[in-house]
Amino acid sequence: MAKTPVSWTEYKVLEAMAKAGVRGGPIGEVASRIGVPESTLHSVARLLEEKGLARVRVEEGERLELTERGQEALREGLPEEKLVKLLEEKGGEASIEEVRERLGREAGVAIGQARRQGLVQVEAGRVKLTGAKPGLRQALEAVAQGRAPGGALGELLSRGLARRVKIRREVLELAGDPSSLLDRVEVEASRLTHDMLASGEWRRYRFRPYNVGAEPPRVMPARIHFLTDFIEMLRDLMKEMGFTEARGPIVELELFNFDLLFQAQDHPAREIHDTLWVEAPPAGLEEYRELVERTRRTHEEGWGYRWSPEVAARLVLRSQTTSVSARLLASRPSPPIRFFTLGRVYRSDVVDATHLPEFHQLDGIEGYSGYTFRDLLGTLREIFERLGLQVKFKPAYFPFTEPSVEGYVRLPSGRWLELFGAGLFRPEVLYMAGVDYPVGAWGFGVERLAAAFYGISDIRLLYTRDTMYIRSFPVRVV
């Protein structure tokens, strides 16, 4: 038979009743016998009744209580007691006048009661003590404590010291012997605790079934930023394809950001509204003397203007990570080479939903003595196919590459996103750097692709300060 679930308190009450051998009775009495507060027992009794383990019945009855006079007598003494006390003080007798003076209005009642109880005699205007203690006090005390006053009941009532009042009281009757009831119940608990396990008491418990479909409180984990996830995925991809990671300064010489990339010094991209300069004295070019000389010659022959080393020495916030590729080339690595860099670049753009003043760019270079444009296109296609993106190539123009290509990738929405620029470095660039084998290069902005990847329409959200946005960002498994 299924056991009846009870609460821990209900269980404890049954247990106490079994121990005390109490099967029922007025709740007040039961409560005092088993040492439980009466209020607690009232509610437990009702719960036990709901579970069919007990019956609670209401009994009509009466009980004695002290009147105000009775309470006063209990507190300050009965009039006859006051008289006895006075006489004892006076050595056994006192005149009626003295008694009247001391007891006032009560003097008559006191003398009358005392004589009736045989405590005093009145002779010749004097009251003499003759008897023992008055008997009514015990009866008063019994009523005050809720006990029966015995034979003095009539006197208490007739003297107006006590009265009868009607009462209702709840009587608890268990549905069986408390010990047998204990076997029919089990305690219901919401949580399994360390204490239950440590004490072994878990066996006594029944673990209430939950509404397992109910919504829990919302919790969000501490997280790695979702843009970092995307960036690190790109780094892994490049490493997987055999590329070595490199890094270059964000504050860069124009020499590496522009000149070495065959961008003429009067090229529009180098004007005030496209390039960000920093407040710093121009750097020295001494360590790049040979590079500077070749750069001057190449620019002056190629573009027909007077090349200025002062311009090349100015410091800019790099506008493209191709500056890192330029530095790599100038270090003349032995072929075959595969390098990539992923870092911040800076633009003169006003911040809006599609523009940031800085963003990440990934640049890669690849080369060896037999490297061709078809190899470059193949590598580009491979990179984006590994990202799950279809690529479309478009002929393009960049000052530092020839042939040049722009790449579009097809987003899941079907839209073609213009993403990357690429090409074989021009012979002029290779000459300036001092490299004698063909090198392919490409670069693309990470944020635009990341925003498309995550379905974010406002690029500023990638740099939110709201930690909950980051912690609650949906996960993309890639």
Partner 1 sequence: MPVVKFKPDRLLNALGVGSVEEAGEVLFRLKCEVEENPEGLVEVEVNPDRPDMYMLEGIARAARGILRLESGWEMPRVRDSGITLRVGEAPSRPYIAAAVVYNYRLDEDTLDELIQFQEKLHDTIGRRRRKVAIGIHDLAKLPSTEVEYKSQGLDTRMKPLGLDVDVEASWVLENTEQGVKYGGISLEEGRHPFLLAGGQVIAMPPVINSNITRLEPGTRDLFIDVTGTDARTVAKVLDVIVSTLSYRDGVEVGLVRLEGAPWKSTPLLSSVKYNLSPSEVNNVLGTSLTPEEVADHLSYMRHNARASGATVMVAVPPFRVDILRSVDLAEDVAISIGYEDLGPRLPHFTTRGSLLGETRLSRRLRELLVGLGFTEVLQLTLTSPKLASLAGGGVRVRNPVQEEYSVLRPSLLPGLIAVARANLHRDKPVKVFEIGLVARPSGGGIVDELMLGLMVMDYEASYEDIQAPLYSVLRLLGISFAVEPTEHGLLMPGRAARILAEGTVLGVLGEVRPEVLEEAGVDYPLVVAEVSVDKLARLAPG
Total of residues contacting partner 1 (CB under 8 A): 87
What's the min distance (Å) between Cβ of 426 and partner 1?
Answer: 7
Say how far apart CA 398 and CA 411 lie, in whole Å. 25
Told to check if 449 binds partner 1 by CB under 8 A, we report no
State how far the Cα of 94 lies from the Cα of 120, in Å rounded to an integer: 11
| Alpha-carbon gap, residue 63 to 152, rounded angstroms | 15
Which phi and psi (to 5°) does residue 6 adopt?
A: -130, 160
Does 240 sit near partner 1 (CB under 8 A)?
Answer: yes
Whose CA is closest to 306, among 255, 264, 268?
Answer: 264
Q: Is residue 239 part of the contact set for partner 1 (CB under 8 A)?
A: yes
Q: Closest Cα partner for 263 from 426, 400, 395?
A: 400
Nearer to partner 1, 207 or 397 (CB): 397
- Does residue 372 touch partner 1 according to CB under 8 A? yes
CB under 8 Å to 289, separation ≥6 — which residues? none
Matching residue, tokens 């003169």? 348
Counting Cα atoms < 13 Å in the Cβ hemisphere of 220 gives 11
27-56: contacts with partner 1 (CB under 8 A): none
Q: Tell me if 394 contacts partner 1 by CB under 8 A.
A: yes
Q: Which is nearer to partner 1, 114 or 337 (CB)?
A: 337
x/- track of binding to partner 1 for residues 134-163 (CB under 8 A): ------------------------------
Q: Does 126 bind partner 1 (CB under 8 A)?
A: no
Assess 471 for contact with partner 1 (CB under 8 A).
yes
Residue from the set 181, 317, 326, 409 that interacts with partner 1 by CB under 8 A: 317
The CB-of-194 to partner 1 minimum distance in angstroms stands at 24
Beta bridge partners of 341: 363
Pick out residues in 248-267 that bind partner 1 (CB under 8 A). 249-251, 266
Site for partner 1 in 179-238 (CB under 8 A): 221-225, 227-228, 232, 235, 238
Contact yes or no for 430/329 (Cβ under 8 A):
yes
Residues 402-441 that bind partner 1 (CB under 8 A): 402-405, 424, 426-428, 438
Joined together, the tokens standing for residue 291 give 């590079």
54-66 and 4-6 strand pairing: unpaired
